[in-house]
Amino acid sequence: MVSPALAPDDVVKALSIEDSMAYLKSKHPDAVSDDEREGYSGVVVQASKLVEVARAIRDDLGFDYLSSATAVDYLGAGDHMEMVYHAYRTSGGGALVFKAQTERENPEIPSLVPVWRGADFQEREAWDLYGIKFPGHPNLRRILMWEGFHGHPMRKDWREAYYEEEQKPFDNRWPGGHVHRSEEKNVFGKNVTYPPDIDLNRLMDTSESEVYASLGLGVDVERILDKDGFETNELVVNMGPHHPSTHGVFRMVLTVDGETVTSLEPVMGYLHRNHEKIGERNTYLHNIPFTDRLDYISSMGNNHGYVLAVEQLMSLGRKYNPPTYRCEAIRVMMVELSRIVNHLWAIGFWLNDIGAFFTPVLYFIQERERILDFFEAVAGSRMMCNYMRFGGLFGDLPERIKSVSNLTNDRVRDYNTMQFLTEMVNERIPRTIDELEQLLTQNEILLERSIGVGILSADDAINYSAAGPLLRGSGVAYDVRRADPYSIYPELDFDVAVEQDGDMYARYRVRVTELRESVRILKQILPRLEATYGESIWADGKPGAYAPRVPFGEAYGRVENGKGELGYYVVSAGGRGGSSNPWRYHVRAPSFINLTPMGLMSSGYKVADIVGILGSIDIVLGETDR
Amino acid sequence: MRGLTLQEATNEASLGENMYGTGLAKGLMLTLRHFVDSFVDDLRYGLRKYSHATDNFGLRQGTEAKGVITVQYPDEKVAVPERFRFVPFLIVEDEDHPIRSGKDWCTSCGICAKVCPPQCIWIVRGNDPDTGRPVPEPEAFFIDIDICMNCGYCAEYCPFDAIKMDHDYELASYDRTSHHIHDKEKLSKPASYWRDIAPTRAYEEMLVRGTWEHKDAAKEARRGSASASTRSSSRAQEPQAEAAPAAVATSAEAAAAPAASAPVEGATPWSEDDAKREERRRKALERKAKRAAKSGG
Ligand code: SF4
Ligand code: SF4
């Protein structure tokens, strides 16, 4: 019961998810209805009323944080397009899921950018990959594919150049597997259709100004580029795609007035491989190693989010055993070690960006290497761990971290696993964090470079759907591990790191605190591992099947990864067509969405600060571009 | 002005009373310590650094090490742990196996081709030339190692332990088109190789299978059909696609296995008890083989 002392506003803001849905239905009876499909949740909102309802969701109900906005193509299953939104309260709790539907031909859904700026890049992605138009969007351009790309690749009827079959496993691999290379059979060009008005022999570069004008920099580019008119000091500068500070192939187009940045527009997609299309051709199991390749700095966390999403779906069915306690403990240990790796890496390379070139980062990498040694011994690979399975893990911890000489000149190592872990957690990692602080926290150069630079206010951070250290550095104590807990986090003792200033230094401080909190969690995990020694990591004692049956439904699995909230939206077609492949597989990539406020954070600062601001967001292009 | 001023921040970092530059100096002290540490470490290990003794390598790479060590690849290499996974290989029975020498463990069931995420495994199932019915043996087996993502699924889900992840990561070549599609010949390695590179895991798998050699070898021995090369088509089974590896390790089955496989050479990876048990088992098998040889004439 809600206390009567609360003002009516607060009563509504404290409603449970069910009551919130009821509230929406009563307020907009003809625009909002329950999503009644089997295994689905949330409400369906009439597209024409979407903005109005979204405002009610944000302002009346207090779901101020739009985590994910993505499209689904239901070709052959209702033949409509759908936008799915997951909104949360920054005070914690579950998601209010709402959807808007439109037809497949000329799909159109009003933009939610006026309500949540965080929808900006996500709607552009939906336009790019699904061809949904968003009237009201200030800058609706392609974001991952290039302007001029033919078609919208995530639509179910779009086929890639090396198209083989709708879904894996492909029929021609067994029993008649006569090997070929797809590029030999499918010479590029044969199965590619060009729009009728394109003549390949007469392709020409578009003029500079057209490119820049489309970037939405908010300046009169013509005037800048006009060589006669010297009335301005503004200049367009390209940083990237091959700029060492961009941590990959990433481009920022900025206009500068002298040394001061007046506007900035991130340009991405250089590493785009349509991870999600691949994911929808794959079976559920196939996707786990592919998630490793998203944020390749912390692949354990990527695995975790995905298996959580699929386990959510599997739990809708009858034959499902949740993972054992030991399995959960190992999972948490692995993701916390990944978080340490991630933050050491992030801080190290951020320092590179602001000028402390490579001395600190190499000290951190030294520790990271030892953690990766451990991953390699347990999961089989240092970075592409592919360690988690639905309902379990690839394998239990080995007794010993041990190698066998195999190649000539091999040097071997042999440690007891638990002893190695204990020493790492109790001594080495804390020592490294102490060193890190000694080296940096009070370093005057660092303070001068980072304090008051790249400021993002709390309201903006929430409105722009920032996540992870970027959000917490702006004074919003929102950590998925506490706000919407999963696995065994509720029983673990740790604090959410938060800093109020919203600048680069605050983000650095958040990361340092999180390193310490991760160590604190690991110290609690070790005795749990000892206590469960010998127990199986599988609920029924034997490994899961390679083709699990996943019932109808949708699931959104999210975890707090090093870079922020990582979410997987998975739709299962269940019996539909009898496939074991996800109908929809979407990744809510923190590196991608955290770039939305990049322009806002950068304007007014110097060009040299931009590099540092980007570093302080901590992106990885494998995840940004997907 | 949003945020803190520098002065406030330095105060917050409890530096208020300190001189400007103290934080910087503190950091430099740490750099100096790292610098000195690496030399102290060098002195402690002296020329042993260059020796090929593995014990001090393990130490210097371990949790207690202070300095940094550079591994002089390719003169030195860090041996990979047992679970390390690189491009897979196929297991064939050891040369010295009495009845199945050189035979594939693979039954061409196709599971690995199905679980392979990038779909880089190609298997041609064998057919009996007389009856035309499928036999449990691949006619051809290809892995496109340019596409293989080293995920290890094929090894993990193979119900016959017939495909394993290799440790040899030095696969660079000058021409990918001729070298990077591995065929059956290139993929095949004897079972003893797997026991060498991953003794603990090979041992665990043996316990599950109940024999050091292929499951079928044990069955064949029980049936008394010593000749493994003549296979009647009635035995040709189409393996159950969903079949999980049989998790039976009955001692009866282990004892029924022919005395083909010698225990792993070199250091035993498991406990001494296990080693003794293994020794007893080996002797029992030897005795049994002798008896069989006598009575069989
Ligand atoms: S799963 Fe094993 S037995 Fe089946 S085809 Fe592959 S390697 Fe052969
Ligand atoms: S390791 Fe993975 S990618 Fe490589 S062949 Fe095996 S299943 Fe396929």
B151 Cα nearest atom in ligand 2? 2
Contact between chains at A414 and B58 (C-beta distance less than 8 A): yes
Q: How many CB atoms lie within 10 A of CB A311?
A: 22
Q: What is the pLDDT of residue A218?
A: 64
Kindly give the number of the ligand 2 atom that is closest to the alpha carbon of B163: 6
pLDDT greater at residue B19 or residue A144? A144
Select from A177, A282, A290 the Cβ nearest to the Cβ of B142: A177
- Per the listing, tokens 């029993």 go with A175
- Chain A contact probe: residue of B6, B83, B182 with most A CBs at under 10 A: B83
CA-closest residue to ligand 2 atom 5: B148
- Chain A residues with CB-CB distance to B114 below 8 A: 169, 173-174, 546-547
Check B153 against A179: CB less than 8 A apart.
no
This model's pTM is above 0.90: no
Rounded Cα gap, residues B24 and A133, in angstroms? 53
pLDDT of residue A515: 92
Select the residue of B64, B170, B244 nearest A542 (Cβ to Cβ). B244
Judge if the beta carbon of residue B91 lies within 6 A of ligand 2: no
The dihedrals phi and psi of A625, each to the nearest 5 degrees, come to: -90, -25
Asked if the Cβ–Cβ distance from B20 to A457 is below 8 Å, we say no
B120 lines ligand 2 (CB under 6 A): yes
Look over chain A and give the mean of its residue pLDDT values, rounded to a whole number: 84
Question: Quick one: which ligand is closest to B111's CA?
Answer: 1
Instruction: Say if B111 is an interface residue toward chain A (CB within 8 Å).
Output: yes
Residues near ligand 1 (Cβ within 6 A): B 106-112, 123, 158, 160, 162-163
A358 touches chain B (CB under 8 A): no
Mean pLDDT of A440-451: 82
A546 pLDDT higher than 50: yes
- The Cα–Cα gap between B121 and B251 comes to 35
CATH T-level fold of B88-219: Alpha-Beta Plaits (3.30.70)
Q: Do B23 and A502 touch (CB under 8 A)?
A: no
pLDDT in tens, A278-290: 998 888 999 999 9
Task: Annotate B165-174 with b (16+ C-beta within 10 A) or e (fewer).
Answer: bbbeeeeeee
The secondary element (H helix, E strand) that includes residue A565 is: strand A564-572
A245 pLDDT more than 70: yes
Which residue in B82, B150, B165 is closest to A402 by CB distance? B82
Q: What is the pLDDT of residues A152-162, one digit of tens each?
A: 999 888 887 77
Q: Residue A551's pLDDT band (boundaries 50, 70, 90)?
A: confident
Q: For residue A15, name the pLDDT band (cuts at 50, 70, 90).
A: confident
> Residue B44 CB: number of other CB atoms within 10 A?
13
Inter-chain contact A428–B63, Cβ cutoff 8 Å? yes
Residues B123, A175: C-beta atoms closer than 8 Å? yes
pLDDT tops 80 at residue A118: yes
What is the spatial distance between Cα A607 and Cα B297, in angstroms, rounded to a whole number? 90
Tell me how close the Cα of B292 comes to any Cα of chain A, in angstroms: 37
Residue pair A462/A64 in contact by the 8 Å Cβ criterion: yes
The number of the ligand 2 atom at minimal distance from the alpha carbon of B152 is: 1
In chain B, the DSSP E strands lie at 77-78, 86-92, 121-127, 134-144, 163-166, 181-182, 188-190
Answer yes or no: are the C-beta atoms of A601 and A473 closer than 8 Å: no
Residue A334 near residue A387, CB atoms below 8 Å = yes
- What is the pLDDT at residue A569? 93
| Residue carrying the six token digits 């959104």 | A556
d(CA A594, CA A615): 12
Distance in Å, CA B86 to ligand 2 centroid: 9
Tell me the mean pLDDT in the region A390-402: 86
Residue B265 pLDDT? 38
Q: Each residue of A324-338: pLDDT tens digit?
A: 999 999 999 999 999
Please give the Cα distance from A548 to A16 (Å, whole number).
Answer: 33
Q: Where are the domains of chain B?
A: 6-60, 88-219
Of B107, B165, B187, the one to substitute when testing ligand 1's pocket (max ligand atoms within 8 A of C-beta) is B107
How many angstroms separate the CA atoms of A556 and B203, rounded? 41
- The angle, 0 to 180 degrees and rounded to 10, between the axes of the packed helices A429-440 and A325-354 is 20
Q: What percent of chain A has pLDDT over 90?
A: 20
Burial of A369: CB neighbours in 10 Å, binned 0-12, 13-18, 19+: middle
Long-range contacts of A525-528 (CB under 8 A, 24+ apart): A525/A329, A525/A332, A525/A333, A525/A336, A525/A492, A526/A418, A526/A421, A526/A422, A526/A425, A528/A325, A528/A329
Q: Is the dihedral of CA A549, A555, A559, A562 positive or negative?
A: positive
Comparing A238 with B225, which gets the higher pLDDT? Answer: A238
Contacts within 8 Å (CB) and 24+ apart, A102-109: A102/A47, A102/A132, A103/A79, A104/A73, A104/A75, A104/A79, A104/A80, A104/A155, A106/A133, A107/A81, A107/A131, A107/A132, A107/A133, A108/A47, A108/A132, A108/A133, A108/A134, A108/A135, A109/A47, A109/A50, A109/A81, A109/A83, A109/A133, A109/A134
Q: Which residue of B has its CA nearest to A394?
A: B156
Interchain CB contact of B293 with A (< 8 Å)? no
DSSP three-state, residue B126: strand
CA–CA separation, A550 and A557 (whole Å): 15
Question: Is it the case that residue A230 has pLDDT exceeding 70?
Answer: no
Tens digits of pLDDT across chain B (297 residues): 344 454 555 455 444 456 777 888 888 888 888 888 878 877 877 766 666 555 666 666 777 777 777 777 877 777 888 889 998 999 988 888 777 777 888 888 889 998 999 889 999 888 888 887 878 888 888 998 888 999 999 999 998 889 999 888 888 888 877 788 888 888 888 888 888 888 888 888 888 887 787 777 767 766 654 444 333 333 333 333 333 333 333 333 333 333 333 343 333 344 555 666 667 667 777 776 776 666 543
A219 to chain B, any CB pair closer than 8 A? The answer is no
Per DSSP, helices labelled H in B210-271 are 215-223, 251-256
Asked if the Cβ–Cβ distance from B26 to A438 is below 8 Å, we say yes
pLDDT per residue as tens digits for the range A120-134: 899 999 999 998 999
Q: For chain A, give the percent of residues with pLDDT over 70.
A: 90
Q: Quick check: helix, strand or coil at residue A570? A: strand
Distances, alpha carbon B245 to alpha carbons A94, A158, B210, in Å: 40, 39, 12
The Cα–Cα gap between A328 and A326 comes to 5
For ligand 2, what atom is nearest to the CA of residue B116?
7
Concatenating the DSSP letter of every residue in A349-374 gives HHHHHHT--SHHHHHHHHHHHHHHHH
